[in-house]
Each structure stands twice: as C-alpha cells, then as structure tokens.
Structure 1
Amino acid sequence: MIRNYMKIAWRNLARNKGFSLINIAGLSIGLTCCMLIVLYTKDEVSFDRFEENKDQLYRVKVTISDEKESRTIGSTNAIHGPTFKQEIPEIEAIVRTQSSTFVVKKNNELINQPILFADPNFFEVFTMPLLSGSPGTVLADIHSIVLTEQTAQKYFNTTEVVGRTLDLKIGDNFQAFTVSGVARNCPENSSVQFDAVLPFTFQESMGWTDNEWLGFYMNTFVLLNKNANYQAVVPKINQVFASKSAFEISKIKDFNQKFYFDLQPFLQVHMDSELSEVRNGLGHGSSPIYSYILSGIALFILLIACINFVNLTVARSLKRAREIGVRKVVGSLRRQLVIQFLGESFLVAFIAFVLAIALAQFVLPTFNELANKQLALSYLLDIDLISAYLGLFLFTGFLAGFYPALVLSGFSPAQTLYNRVRFTSRNYLTRGLVVFQFALSVGLVIGTFAIYAQFEFLTNKDLGYNDENLMSFSLGRGGAGRQVLDVVKQELENTAGIEAVAAFNGNYNGTGAKIDGGRTLDFGYIGVDDNFLPTLQIPLEYGRNFSRDFPSDPIQSVIVNEAFVKEAGWKDPIGKEVNFEWKNQKLQVIGVIRDYHYASLKEKIKPLLLTQDPNYGLGKIFVKVAPDDIPATIRTIEKIFRKHVPLLPFEYAFEDITNAKRYEKEGKWKQVITLAAILSIFVSCIGLFGLATFNAESRVKEVGIRKVMGASMVRIVTLLSTDFIKLVLISIIIAIPVSYYAIGLWLNDFPYRIEISGWYFVMAALLAVSIATLTVGFQSVKAALMNPVKSLRSE
C-alpha cells in the first residue's frame, strides 16, 4: 500500500513538473535557512560546555554606582582574587588573566605578539589540553612561556619546541623565555582565547601589578568547591571588599561611589550582552539577540515556503478532483486519501531536504563570513542535531501537507465526477496566508531600507575631524618614545608627501576633577601637542589652541570640548578653572573645540579635556599624508621609524579604515537582512503565483464567457489581478506600523541615528505592488489569452 502511495505521488510530481519545481525550490530555500541557523544556534549554545569545571567556575564582576549612573564591569584588580580566596573557604582556586602585547625577535624580524598573563594554575582550572608539558608546572617558572600549536609553528615551524627559547622585549632589552609547554589551539567555541601564556607571577616580580582595591583592569575567575552555593559566597565577597578597602576609601575626599561584587557563571559569559567587552583572555563574545533575529528570519522564510506549498497544492486540486471522486467511488476511505496526500507532501519535503543539505554546504562559506563563524556541516554528526533536523523535516512535511490533505480528501464524489467542485474566491484561509507572508516580506524590505540608511549615516557622517589620508603609528611606551618624539616629528615634517604631523598619548582615559567650587565632573583626558588640532582639522569654537608662544600652557592650561561645557553648564567657559585635586593642580580653560567623534558613533560624545601636561608622555604620531603617492610616503615614514625606533615593529593604520571597521557588524547585518528580504519576496511571489493560478483555473469558464461576450484582454487581466493587489495592499497596511515600531526599537541603540523616513515605506510598498503585479499579471495574461472555445466546449 505504502509503495503504491509513493508511486502515485512520484507520478503526480513528474506530471506537474513546473509546480513541483516551485514547491521544492521554495521549501529547499526555507530549509536551507533553517539548517544554517540551527548550526549557528548550536555553536552559540555549545560555547564553553567542554570545560570540566564549568559548573563550579565563575567570573568576578562588579557594579559601580553613584548619584548619576550605575555600570557593571567584568574587571578586577590583582589584589582582589588572592584575598577573596584567602578569606572565603568556599573558593577552591582563583585565576587572574590579563592581556598584553610584547615584541618578539625572530631572527632579524620584530613581531608584535599578543600575550596572556595567567596564574600558574591556569591550565588546571581551564580545560585547555596540552600537547606537551604538565598543567600544574608549565607556568611555575616566571621565565617560562606556553605557546599554542599555531604560535609554535609561527616561530619554530614545529610543535616540538619544549626547552627552546623565545626573546621578548622587556623595557629596552630582550629577555629569553623558555617554552615549557605547547597547548592545543583554542577551540572556536571557547570564550577563553590566547596565543601564548606567561606566568602572572612574572609581572608581579617586575612590579607591574596594581594592588589598590579601587582598581579594575583584569579578569578574575573563581573556582568554587562542589558543595558551595555561589549565591551564598557573594555576600562574603562584598564583606571582604568592604573591610579591606575601607582605609583606601577613607583617604579620598567626598568619595561617593558604591561597589557591589557578584559572581557570573562561566557558561553565561559568552552570551552576556551587558558585559560584551572581550579582552584579558576572553574572546568571541556574542549576544542572544543575534540568535533570535536569525532564527526568526529562518522560521519566517520556512513558514512562507510552507504557505506556498499549501496554496499551490490547493490551486492544483481541481485537476485532481475526478481522481479523488473515482477513488472514493471504488471504496477509498478519507483516512487513506489523507495518508496519500501527506505522503506526497513528505516526498516533496524529502527531496527539498536533500537539496537543502547540498545548498547549505554551498552557501556555508558565505554564511560563515557574514556570521563571523567557522561552522561546518560535520556538526550534523551530532546526535542532538540529527534529531533536530529530523524533527524539522517531519514538521515541514506535516505543516505543508496537512491542510491540503484535509481539503482534497473532503471532496464529494458526486460533485467531482460531475465537475461541480468549486473553490470560490472566498477562501479566507488561503488569502489570509498570502496577506501574512507578504506582510512579513514587506516588513523585511522596510527594515532593509532603514538598515541601509543607518549604515550609510554611520559611515558618512561628519566626525568633526578629517580622517582622510590620516595615518597613525606608535613610538612605543615609556622613556624611549619620549626621547625620540621630537626628532621623529621634525624629520617627518621635512619629508615630501607629508602635509602635517601631530602627537598625542593614544588614550582617551577617563578621570574626574572639580569645577565651580566643588562639583565633580567626569571626562576623557588626553595629552596632545600644538599641532594636534590643525592636523586633525578640529575647529575651535572659542578661545585659542596651545602654543609655544605661551610657555605656561603645559602646566596651567587645558582645552575642552563642547560636551564638557554643556555638562559643566558654563555660558562663558574661557578662563574657567578645572581643579585636579589628586595632583594638586588648578588649570584654566583656554579654548573650546567642536565635539568630534573620537569613538564609534554608537557611543555618545562625552566630555573631553586636552592637556599638555609634561608628565603625560606622547607616544603616538598622526601624519597627514598627501594623496599623490601614498605607498612611497609610507616607505619613507618606515625608514625614519626604523632609524630611531629599531626595537619595535613598524605598524600603522589609516583612521578612515579604522573608523569603517567599527561598523563591520552593522555592515554584515545589512547584508543578512537584505538577503532575507530578497528570499522572502521571492518565495512569497511563488505563493502569489500559486494563488493566481488557482484563481485563473477556477474561473476559466467565466473568462471564456466574458471573452465571447466581448470583454477585452485588459479588462480580463484587471478583473483577475485586482483581488490579489488588494491582498498585497492589506499586507502593506499591516506591515507599516509593525515595521515602524521595530525600526524604532533598533534605532534606540544608536545615540546618533537617522530619522525614520516615510520614503522607506513608500519604496517598500511600490516594490511589493510592482512585483506582485508582475507575478499575478503573468498568469492573468495567460488566462486572458486562452481560447474560449477550449474552456467552454464541455458545457
């Protein structure tokens, strides 16, 4: 019996090749999207689950609050972890991690190498398998270093490197570090990422660590014993901090900050959108919103494809009416007919499923690039994933075939054999499904226009300074950079192809000071030279720039931005005092610059203060390069750099490229949403084509009569198309308010954003109506051109 069902199903598919192809294509596109998103979601939820201590491992985080704001960070200081372990018996172990970069000498080549400082028990607490070396001893010696396979190959072309040495630049000299172990490359689904690990005890021996209780600049992880309740440990951590930090806090006048320490389960680190900053050994941070959006898009497209299957199957039902009538007359039960039609649905779903696997493999590299992943269909070998895909296959086949099976199996034998089956245009379910799927498609198109507009705004907005052909590089930290700064600047200024040269300290550190008799104002704080403003072409709104004509500027004067003036509430800022109590300095404002975006446009411009404090070393150079021959100018700059800074690699960046990279995520989402909109429109039009076919076939005799009575082709096409255009217009009316609300929510995350334009909705509506008209019009013209003799000869 089953064999007979499948044989009939196959014959029916072969007989209606066009409709079968449309059905299979639509379902395979929807299934492909779902497969890729299932892979993506599986990768997201699998992060860090290989860690043996995952259920006992936590990251220390702290919430800092005052009268104005409250913020949570995942950072601590060097003293926090060891003290917590000493004072709290439930803490079995602690691991501190901190990122840094060292110059490594490889033969005569200098390479900047990212290094992770970690406590000696790092490889015991975290599941990072070693190819060589013992987890408990690889970081025991302060001059030992552990490399990953990739890093070992990079420097030695082999992984058999235990006992060999690597020269790292410490201060102005190179020191040899002995390779004590080689670790496997960090898994892609691991939050912990590193290339090389040095013992944390080394930087402690160098005096590089800060043991103040109010400092926060590294990660601290705690391993609790198996019987500990982390919620009971949190109050103890806060008690220890309160008692240990009391003396330090008492020395700060008018201190008004509050601190609350907490423990974050390690399995929550990857998907924590609040603490999205990834550094100090953590990487690949994500947000659950991405999984939600991608899953929603995939389900929408699959749902649209299933709706198409329903519409096309019902549209073809009239041609199978006599078959159903004959089957019922000779004794077929409705249950058997339902099984037959569901069997046809599952056959289509199976073919689409196989095609979707091939299509998913084909587009996977592109998807990986968009999603910033390294996914592979080998994940399918996972039993849970196989079960998920099997469930997806069964769900798709049942969803697509259940309603048509019920409708077709319910035909009356008498009506079908006498050709009296009628599906009138009052098929509200079918029409409602078309409205629903087009509303989804129009919503995605509107979203695409909005995302495009916001992305163009982010990448083309005036930043308040000119980043075109603006090159930057570092002279390094410490005394060496300061000693060569003036010499390097002078040589660059005398070089052809260079229009301007400036120096600054390379940071936008946050600090605070008193204004207007005692009120504290928080702001960014950078050191600059006299040429900084003209080189970046940042205009002054009031006052003057720093100048060598005023020798007292470095110790008496500062420049602030408009945001600083606004926050301070000053109407006449020139001459106002900024009191740095912590360094016993009162400085006067000599100028106000226009606000410029020194950070991403996803961050609001904050108060900023520029200083020439001689204690604030300037180690970064800005060079305005003439556009004539940029490569030759870069080579000249590199020669000057190597002449004066021989122990550092020459690494440079152009500000316009750096700024563009800040919006790579938005750029990728623009591509994802655009692709989703195109697919949804395409698949929706397949459904509309099916409904138009159904309508034309059910009204074929009406069309014939109208033609015999003299109706023109234009009138017939209009008659057949009007109802469908109405459906599309209804879908547009539904999509507009929903899209407007969703776009508004998305734009709220951007402090600098576009205004939602009515053109997005007009363009999306015109596009939807145009595509729908072409889709329906094709079938309507085909019906209008049919010979009325053929359609009426049976009457």
Structure 2
Amino acid sequence: MFQNYFKIAVRNLTRNKVFSLINIAGLSLGLTCCMLIVLYTKDEVSFDRFQENKDQLYRIKVTMSDPRETRTIGSTNAIHGPTFKEEIPEIKEIVRAQSSSFVTKKDNELLYENVLFADDNFFTVFSMPLLSGDPKTVLSDLRSIVLSEKLAQKYFNTTNAVGKSIELKIDTTFESFIVSGVAKQCPQNSSVQFDAVLPFKFQEARGWTDKEWLGFYMNTFVLLNAKADYRAVVPKINAVFATKSADEIGRIKDFNQKIKFDLQPFLDVHLDSELSDLRNGLDKGSSPIYSYVLSGIAIFILLIACINFVNLTVARSLKRAKEIGVRKVIGSERKQLVAQFLGESFLLSFIAFSLAILLTQLVLPTFNELANKQLALSYLLDSGLVSGYIALFFVTGFVAGFYPALVLSGFSPVQTLYNRTRLTNKNYLTKGLVVFQFALSVCLVIGTIVIYSQFKYLTDKDLGYNDKNLLSFSLGRGRDGEKKLDVVKSELSTVPGIASVAAWNGNYNGTGAKVDGKEIGFGYIGVDDGFLSTLQIPIVKGRNFSKLFPSDPTQSVIVNEAFVKEAGWKDPVGKVVDFEWKNAKMNVIGVIKNYHYASLKDTIKPLLLTQDPGYGRGTVYAKLDTKDIPATIKAVEAIFRRNVKFLPFEYKFEDVTNLKRYEKEAKWKEMITLAAILSIFVSCIGLFGLATFNAETRVKEIGIRKVLGASVASITALLSADFIKLVLLAIVIAMPLAYYAVNIWLENFPYRIDISWWYFAIAGLLAICVAILTVGYQSIKTAMLNPVRSLRTD
C-alpha cells in the first residue's frame, strides 16, 4: 500500500512540474531561512554555557542615581572585589579584569596590541583552556604573559611559544615579558575574549590602580560557593560598601548620589541589552530582540511557503476529483486518503528540506557576514540541533499537507464522478491566505523603506561640525603626547595638503561641577586654540581660547548650548563653573553650538572645553584638502616617525569613524531588505501558481468570451481583477500594523525621521505592480489562446 502511495505521489509531482517546482522552491526558501535562524539562535543561547563555574559565576554591576538620572554600569574599582571577598564568606573567588593597549616590537616593527590585565586565578575560575602552561601558576610571575594561539603564531610562527619573550612598551622604554602559557583561541560563543593576558598584580606594583571606593572602570567577577544564594549576598555587598566608603563620601561636599551594587549572573551577560556595551575582557554583547525579529521573519517566510502549498493543492483538487471518487467507490476509507495526501506532502517537504540544507550551506558565508557570526553546520551539529531540524521537517510537512488532505478526502464520490465538484468563488480560506501572505510582505517592505530612510538620516545628518577629510592620530597618552605636540603641529602646518591642525585629549570624559550652587554632570575635553576652527564648530556667544589671554588655561572654559540649558543660564558668558574636586573656579568665555560628538543614538549632553595644563592633549586633528590625500598622509607619517620614536603610526578619518557607529543599523538594513525580497518572491510564486490554475479552469469561458468579441485587454483585466482585489485588501491590513511596528523601532532613536505617507504609498504600489506582473503574464497568455482550441478542451 505504501509503495502504491509513493508511486502515485511521484507521478503527481512529475505530471504537474510547474506546481511541484513552485511548492518545492517556496518551501526550500522558507526552510533555509528557518535553518539559518535556528543556527543563529542556537549560537546565541549557547553563549558561555561551556564555563564549568557558570552557575556560581557573577559580574558585579552598579546602579548610580541622582536627581538628574539613573544609570547602571558593569564596572568596579580595584579595591571592591578583594574587600568583598575578605568580608563576605559566601564569596569563594574574585577576578578583576581590565583591558589596555600596548606598543610591541616584532622584527623592529612597532605594533599595537590589546592586553587584558587579570588576577592570577583567571584561568582557574574561567574555563579558557591552555595549549601549554599551568592554569594555576601561569599568571603568578609579575613578568609573565599568556598569548592566544593567534598572537603566538603572529609573533613566533608557532604555538610552542612558552619561554620565549615579547617586548612591551612600559612608560618610555621597552621591557621583556616571558610567555608562560598559550591559550586556545577564545570560543566564538564566549563573552570572554582576549589576545594576551598579563598579571593584574603588575598594574598594582606599578601603582596604576586606584584604591578609591567611588571609582568604576574595570570588570570584577565573583565566584560564589556552590550553596550560596546570590540574592542573599547582594545586601552584604552593599553593607560592606556603605561601611568602607563612608569616610570617602563624607569628604565630598553635598554628595547626592545613591550607589547600589548588584550581581549579574554570568550567563545573562551576552544578552543583556541594558549593559550591552561590553569591555575589559568582555565582548560580543547582543540583545534577544535580534533573535526574536529574525525568528519572526523566518517563520513568516515559511508560513508564506506553506500557505502557497495549501492554496495550490486545494486549487488543483478538481484535477484529482475523479481519482478520489474512484478510490472511494472501490472501498478506500477517508483515513487512507488522508494518509496518501499527507504522504505526498511529506515527500515534497523532504525534497524541499534536502534542497534547503544545500542552500543553507551555500548562503551561510553571506549570512555570517550580515549577522557578524562564524556559524557552520558542523560547528552546531549536535543531537539537539538534529532533533530540531527533524521536528521542523515534520511540522512543515504536516502544516502544509493537513488541510488539503482533509479537503480532498472529503469529496463526495457521486459528485466527483459526475463532475459536480466545484471550488466556488467563496473559497474564503484560499483568499484569506493570499491576503495574509501579501500583508506580511507589505509590512516587510514598509519596514525596509523606513530602515533605509533612518539609516540615510543617521549618516547624512549635519553633525554640527565638518567631519569630512578630518584625519586624526595619537602622539601618545597624556602628557607624553603633548610634549611633542608643538613641534608636530608646526611641521604639519608646512605640508601643502593640510588646511589646519588642532589638538585635544582624544576622549570625551565625564565629570561634574557646581553652577549657581547646583551640581551638574557634563562631558569634559581638553583642546587647543585651533580645535573649534579645524572642526568648524560655530561659536554662538563670547569668544574662543586665545594666546592673547594668558589666563585662559587656568581660568577659562567654553561650554555648549546643552550645558547652558542644563545650567538654566540666560546670559552664560562670565558665569562661573566651580570644580570643587580640584579646588578651581573657571569663567565661561564662550558658548559653542551643539554638535554631535557621540552617536546620533544618544542625545547631545552638556559639554565643557578646557585648556587645563594638567589635561594632556596628545591627539592631533589635521584637516586635509582633496587634491592628493595619499601623498598628504605619507607626509604626515614622515613627520610622525621623525618625532615619535616608539609608537606605530595609526590614523583614522573622522567620517569613517562616525559611519562605523551605525554598523548594526547597516546590518539590519541588509537583513530586512533580504527578508522583504524573499517574502515577496515566495508570495509571488504562489500567486503565479494560483493564477495559472485559475486560467486553466476558465479556458472554455475565455474561448466563449473571445468568440463573442471580448478583447485581450478585457479578458486579462477579468482574470487579474480577483487577485488584485486581494492584494489591495492585504495592503489595507498591512499599513496600520507596519505603522505601529516602525514607530516602536524608531523610538530607539532620539534623532529620527518623520514617518511619511509616501513610505506606505511606495510599498503599496510595489505590491500591486509585482502582483500585476505576476498574474498578468499568465492572464495575457490565456487571453491570447485560439478560442477554437479552447472550446475543444475537455
């Protein structure tokens, strides 16, 4: 019996090649999307689960609140972890981690490398396997260093590097460190990422770590005892902090911050959208929303493919009506017919599934590029994944074939044998499914248009300064860089391709001060006289810094408009900013126009510019003209190498840096666009199949109409009208849903586009045009048939 079912299924597939191809193509595309998203989601939820101590491992996080704002960070100071371990018995181990960059030597070439400072127990608390070296002692020596496989190969062309030395620039000289271990490359599903690890006690021995209770700039991880409840440990941590920090807080006048410590389970780090900005040994932060959105898209496309299958199978049921009637007359039971048609569905699904596996393997490199992953079928090929794929196969086959099997097996044998079975125009399920799939497609198209528009807005918006052809490079940290600054600036000013030169400290730091007795927070940068003119930032009130006023470095500051607004000033020039923490009062000499020194995903915050002599300005801006940029860069490099002996020359352009801030949005733009194209394509091949069948069932009607004088255009319009009406209904349903969805997405951006009516008009017109092209071809082909041949058709 099953052999007979199989033969019939194969014959039906080969006899109806167009419809079989449409179903297989649609299902394989839908299954490919689902397979890719299963891989993505599997990777996301598997993050850090290889850690042996995962259930007892936590990161310390801190919530700071004042009358202005509340924010949570995942940072601590060097004193916090050891003190908490000493005072709280439930804490078994603590690990501090802080990233830093060092200049290294490789065959007389100078390079920058990122290094992680970590406590001695780093490799025993975290399950980061070593190729060589003892996890317990590998960081015990002050001058030991652990390299990753990649870095060992880079410097020594082998992973057998234990005992070899590597030179790192410490202050103004290069010092040797002995390789004590080589670690396996960090797993791709690990939040802990490093290239090299140095002992944290090296920092402490050099006096590079602060002992203040109110400092927060490194990660501290806590390993609790197996029976400890972290919720019971948190109050003890806060109690220790309150006791130990009391003297320090008491020395700060009018301290108004509330500081609360908490423990974050290590398994929550990767998908914590609140603390997604990972650093100091942590990387690859993500958000569960990505998995939700991608999973939704994949399910939508698979649903559309299944809808096509149901529609086409039900529509073609008339062709098999007599077969069903004969089978029922000779004794077939309904459950046997259901089994037969479900078997055909599973056969088609199996073919589509096999093709989907091949397609998944082919498109995986492109998907990895879009999703910033390194996924592979072999990498995630475990029992759970295989079970998931098998379940996906059975669900797809059942969903696609169950309803058609019920419809076909329910035909009356008398009606089918006398050709009285009809699929009337009231086939609401088929029409409803067409509306549903096109509504999903239109939603995705509108989403694509909005994301494109928002991305263009982010990358084209006037930032308040000119970032074009603005080259920057560092002369070194703090005061070291500033020592060479005057000479470098003087030489750069003689290069023909450079319009202007400026210097600043290279980073927007945060601090606070009092204005009119009120404490406010703001960004704080050190600049020279040419900073505003080089970046073309307008001064709206007052003046710029100037060498004509020798007191500017010690007595004057410039603020932005956001600072003025926060301070509540109407006439800011001449106002005083009281820096109690450094016992200095500074006068405001000018106000600059607000400019976007951060991403457009953040609102412009108050900003203060200073020429404080103690604030090193080691980063140089050079405004280039467009005549010969490569030659100008070579001239800049020559000046750099002549004056800066122990640093590699690394430069960047400000406009490129700004664009990189929106890499995530660029990836989403590409993903949603691809999803929209796929959904429209799958919807259209289903619509094409229905249109083809509709034309086949109305051949005689078309022949009679042509004999009576109907034109090709009128017949084409007649055959297309029903489908166009369904697409129009889908557009009406999709628009409010899409409007709601894109509004929610745009709420993440303080600076965003206005949703225009033409976004919806374009999406609607696109859907209508695609539908007309899809059904129009088959309609015209049918309308042009010879009516004599049409009327002779059985």
**Post-superposition shift, 1:498?**
1.1
Q: Is the 8 A contact 1:424 1:698 kept in 2?
A: no
Shift of 1:789: 4.0
Q: Is the 8 A contact 1:425 1:695 kept in 2?
A: no
Describe the SS at the equivalent of 1:316. helix
CA contact (8 A) 1:149 1:182 kept: yes
Instruction: Map 1:235-634 onto structure 2 (within 5 A).
Output: 235-379=235-379, 381-516=381-516, 518-634=517-633
Per-residue Cα deviation, 1:196-248 (whole angstroms, up to 9, x for no partner): 00000000000000110011000000000111111111111111111111111
Q: Distance in 1 between matches of 2:750 and 2:582?
A: 34
For structure 1, which segment, 585-594 or 524-533, has the greater mean C-alpha deviation from structure 2 after superposition? 585-594
Identity of aligned pairs, percent?
74
Whether the 8 Å contact between 1:315 and 1:690 is mirrored in structure 2 is no
Tell me whether 414-423 or 383-392 shows the greater mean CA deviation. Answer: 414-423
Structure 2: distance between partners of 1:693 and 1:420: 22
In 1: Cα distance, 2:540 partner to 2:489 partner: 27
> Residues 380 and 161 of structure 1: is their aligned pair in 2 closer, same or farther, counting only changes over 3 Å?
closer
Q: For residue 326 of structure 1, report the CA deviation from its aligned partner.
A: 1.6
Alpha-carbon spacing, 1:409–1:106, altered in 2? closer, same or farther (3 Å): same
Cα offset, 1:442, TM superposition? 0.2
Larger deviation, residues 629-638 vs 35-44:
629-638
Contact preservation (8 Å) 1:379, 1:385: no
Cα distance, 1:275 vs. partner? 0.3
The 1-side partners of 2:477 and 2:715 are apart by 80
Q: Any conservation in 1 of the 2:349–2:396 contact (CA below 8 Å)?
A: yes
TM (normalized to structure 1)? 0.98
Question: Which deviations, in whole Å up to 9, do the C-alpha atoms of 1:311-335 show, x marking residues without a partner?
Answer: 1112221111121122222222111
Q: What one-letter code is carried by the residue in structure 1 that aligns with 2:505?
A: N
- The reply on whether 1:201 has 2:236 as its aligned counterpart is no
**2:502 aligned counterpart, secondary structure:** strand
Partner of 2:733 in structure 1? 734
**Inter-partner Cα distance in structure 2 for 1:548 and 1:786:** 89
Q: Supply the AA of the counterpart residue of 2:64.
A: I
* Aligned counterparts of 2:306 and 2:540: Cα–Cα separation in 1: 61
Compute the displacement of 1:182 (Å). 0.8
| Alpha-carbon contact 2:315-2:423 (below 8 Å) kept | no
For the residue of structure 2 that corresponds to 1:646, the secondary structure is coil
> What is the aligned partner in structure 1 of residue 123 from structure 2?
123
For the residue of structure 1 that corresponds to 2:93, the secondary structure is strand
Q: CA deviation at 1:700?
A: 3.5
Following the alignment from structure 2 to structure 1, what is the Cα–Cα distance between the partners of residues 706 and 654? Answer: 69
Query: 1:653-705: CA deviations, max 9, x gaps?
Result: 01111111111111111010001000101111122223323433443443333
Q: For the Cα contact (< 8 Å) 2:22–2:689, is it kept in 1?
A: no
Amino acid at match of 2:589: I
Work out whether residues 82 and 94 of structure 2, in 8 Å CA contact, stay in contact via their aligned partners in 1. yes
Corresponding position of 1:57: 57
Letter of the structure 1 residue corresponding to residue 755 of structure 2: I
Deviations 1:91-139 (A, max 9, x none): 0000000000111112211111100000000000000111111111010
Q: Distance in 2 between matches of 1:756 and 1:620?
A: 40
Q: Deviations over 1:139-180 (max 9, x none)?
A: 001111011111111111111111111111110011111111
Residues 348-381 of structure 1, C-alpha deviation per residue, up to 9 Å, x if partnerless? 1001111011111111000000000000011453
Which residue in 1 is equivalent to 2:132?
A: 132
Q: Aligned residue for 1:716? A: 715
Cα distance in 2 for residues equivalent to 1:425 and 1:572: 75
Q: Is the 8 A contact 1:504 1:526 kept in 2?
A: yes
| Distance (Å, rounded) in 2 between the aligned partners of 1:739 and 1:475 | 50
1:195 Cα deviation after fit: 0.4
Q: Which residue of 2 aligns with 1:30?
A: 30
Change (3 A) 1:411 1:697: farther
Secondary structure, in 3 states, of the residue corresponding to 1:359? helix
Cα offsets for 1:331-354 (capped at 9, x unmatched): 221111111111111111001111
Write the distance in 2 (CA, Å) between the matches of 1:7 and 1:794.
28
562-571 or 700-709: bigger deviation: 700-709
- For 1:755 and 1:431, the matched residues in 2 are separated by 34
1:2 maps to 2
Partners of 1:645 and 1:691 in 2: CA distance? 72
Match of 2:17 in 1: 17
Counterpart of 1:774? 773
Please list the CA deviations of residues 296-318 of structure 1 after superposition, one character each: whole Å capped at 9, or x if unmatched. Answer: 00000000000001111122211
Distance across 2 between alignment mates of 1:29 and 1:661: 32
Letter aligned with residue 197 of structure 2: V
Distance 1:103 1:176 in 2: 12
Spell out, residue by residue over 1:48-76, the C-alpha distance to the aligned partner (whole angstroms, 9 max, x if none): 01000000100001111111211111000
Determine the C-alpha separation between the residues in 1 that align with 2:326 and 2:706. Answer: 33
1:153 paired residue number: 153
How many Å separate the matches in 1 of 2:75 and 2:338?
62
Residues 144 and 786 of structure 1, relative CA distance in 2, 3 Å threshold = same
Paired with 1:418 and 1:430, the residues of 2 have a C-alpha distance of 25
How far the C-alpha of 1:792 sits from its partner, in A, is 4.1
1:747 maps to a residue whose letter is: L
| 184-193 vs 104-113, greater mean Cα deviation | 104-113
1:512 match: secondary structure: strand
Q: CA deviation at 1:542?
A: 1.2
Q: What is the deviation of 1:774?
A: 1.4
Contact residue 423 and residue 698 of structure 1 kept, 8 A: no
One-letter amino acid of the structure 2 residue matched with residue 423 of structure 1: L
Aligned residues of 1:514 and 1:581 also touching (Cα < 8 A): yes
Residue matched to 1:233:
233
Task: Give CA-to-partner distance per residue, 1:11-39, whole Å, 9 cap, x none.
Answer: 11111111111110000000000000000
TM superposition shift of 1:755: 0.5
Deviation at 1:90, TM superposition (A): 0.5
The one-letter amino acid of 1:6's match is F
Taking the aligned partners of 2:402 and 2:222, their CA distance within structure 1 comes to 54
1:311 corresponds to which letter in structure 2? N
Contact 1:422 1:698 in 2 (8 A): no
Residue identity in the other structure for 1:639: A
Contact 1:314 1:694 in 2 (8 A): no
Alignment: residue pair count: 794
**Segment drifting more, 634-643 vs 438-447:** 634-643
Contact 1:308 1:684 in 2 (8 A): yes
| Cα deviation 1:233-282 (Å, max 9, x = unaligned) | 11111111111111111111111101111111110000000001111000
Stretches of structure 2 lacking an aligned partner (at least 5 in a row): none
Checking the alignment, whether the CA contact within 8 Å between 2:325 and 2:416 is kept in structure 1 is: yes
Q: Is the 8 A contact 2:479 2:615 kept in 1?
A: no
How far apart in 2 are the matches of 1:660 and 1:545? 29
In 2: Cα distance, 1:659 partner to 1:787 partner: 64
Give the match's secondary structure for 1:467.
coil
CA distance in structure 1 between the aligned counterparts of 2:722 and 2:319, rounded to whole angstroms: 23
- What whole-Å deviation, never above 9, does each CA across 1:406-449 have from its counterpart, x for those lacking one? 11111111221221211011110110011110000000000000
C-alpha deviation, 1:633, in angstroms:
1.2
Whichever residue aligns with residue 582 of structure 1, its letter is: W
Looking at structure 2, the residues matched to 794 and 714 of structure 1 have their Cα atoms a distance apart, in angstroms, of: 23
For residues 594-633 of structure 1, the C-alpha deviation after alignment (integer angstroms, 9 at most, x for no partner) is: 1111111111110101111111110100001121111111
Tell me the distance in 2 between the aligned counterparts of 1:719 and 1:319.
23
**Whole-Å separation in 1 of the counterparts to 2:533 and 2:792:** 87
State how far apart, in whole Å, the 2-side matches of 1:408 and 1:364 are.
39
Describe the shift of the 1:255–1:372 C-alpha distance in structure 2 as closer, same or farther (beyond 3 A): same
Does 464-473 or 779-788 show the bigger shift? 779-788
> In the aligned structure 2, how far is the partner of 1:286 from the partner of 1:56?
22
1:784 corresponds to: 783
Letter in 2 for 1:734: I
